[in-house]
Amino acid sequence: MRILVVHNHYGDYVIGGEALVMQAEVALLRSHGHDVRVYERTNAEIARRGLRGQIQAFRDVPWSEEGYQAVAREIDKFKPEVMHVHNYRFLLSPSIFKAAKERGVATCLTLHNYRLACPAGQFLRDGRVCEDCIQGMPYRMFWRRCSSKDTIKTLAQFYLYWDSRRRHYLAPCVDAYIALTEFGRTRFVAAGLPAGRVHVKPHFMEDPTGDQSPPQERRGALFVGRLSPEKGVDLLLEAWRGIDYPLFIVGDGPLRAKLEKCASANVIFLGPLEHTACLTAMKKSAFLVFPSVWYEGFGLSLMESMACGIPSVAFDLGPRREMVIDGHNGFLCPAEDVGAFRE
């Protein structure tokens, strides 16, 4: 089968979770004999366009003629049977599905986040889960400031959300949606996506251990993720007070300096690590901690820790219980219950 894979990177081709998943799926498809071509763009292009170009890019967020033409050219050259999209925000826009449908190409979209059900994309407001916009009144995001303190970013997110809902819900342009968990599927169906077109396909990974034997000694707890409010690292550090055991933190983000100042002496910040180095750190750790306070689309680090043979301690939120079986491959505790997490 000829498959065109499309991905709009958030930054300048930074390897994040969505990009890693996209690359893994491409490799898997090719290993099974499929002819796969990847078309990638990056939102970093917008910053290089100058003021006029940036204004135009903002206007094109819900429907980009340039994105439509670019993908149309790719389809005309490659002639795929299927176009699989991982992300179209912001540069490409939903217009790329029209280019595919006009050429008789089947389309599917992986739902890496909750943006088609929540304008802010995370079902999170003031550090708490919020599903108020699933069935209406998304305008609340402006006065609640649940997405961002940046007005332009909030406008862009709402602009894309509103037009995407119109195109995905009222005039369907995608043949199949791929949800990452059954929990995620229920949220999208509740928001209005047709149940018959939303399918669950979890992420996967190659065996990271190979023929290697496990380390003789595993020591320390490990956190892997972005150091931002929704990841719950502040709650993790609060839970860690009084625990005489090392905690290693892998990742970077806007809260790093603040978190380093309030961390106890046995908390070691390792900074961002390349993916292979991160897996090596997992193999040497005793267990993973997963204190995220939002639903998470999937939780790649949970899957990676299990593949490396270590259990997890996580807040019981969203789809986590589809991955962590309490008392078997990890422990779940009530969301944001610092005492239970510490225990």
Secondary structure (H, E, C), 273-309: CCHHHHHHHHHHCCEEEECCCCCCCCCHHHHHHHHCC
The answer for residues whose C-beta is within 8 angstroms of residue 51's C-beta and 6 or more apart is none
Please state, in angstroms and rounded to a whole number, the distance separating the CA atoms of residues 141 and 131: 12
Query: What confidence score (pLDDT) does residue 262 get?
Result: 94
**Beta-strand (E) ranges in 10-129?**
35-42, 82-87, 106-110, 124-125, 128-129
CA atoms within 13 A on the CB side of 249: 27
Amino acid at position 204, single letter: F
Q: Report the predicted TM-score, pTM, of the whole model to 2 decimal places.
A: 0.90
Query: What confidence score (pLDDT) does residue 216 get?
Result: 67
R_g over Cα of the chain: 21
Query: What confidence score (pLDDT) does residue 14 get?
Result: 63
The pLDDT profile of the chain, 343 residues, written as one tens digit per residue, is: 999 999 999 887 666 789 989 999 999 999 999 999 999 999 989 888 888 888 888 788 888 999 999 999 999 999 999 999 999 988 999 899 999 999 999 999 999 999 888 887 889 888 889 888 887 667 677 666 676 666 767 777 777 777 776 666 545 789 999 999 999 999 999 988 999 999 999 999 989 877 666 666 899 999 999 999 999 999 999 999 989 999 999 999 999 999 999 999 999 999 999 989 999 999 999 999 999 999 999 999 999 999 999 999 999 999 999 999 999 999 999 999 999 999 9
Query: What confidence score (pLDDT) does residue 115 get?
Result: 87
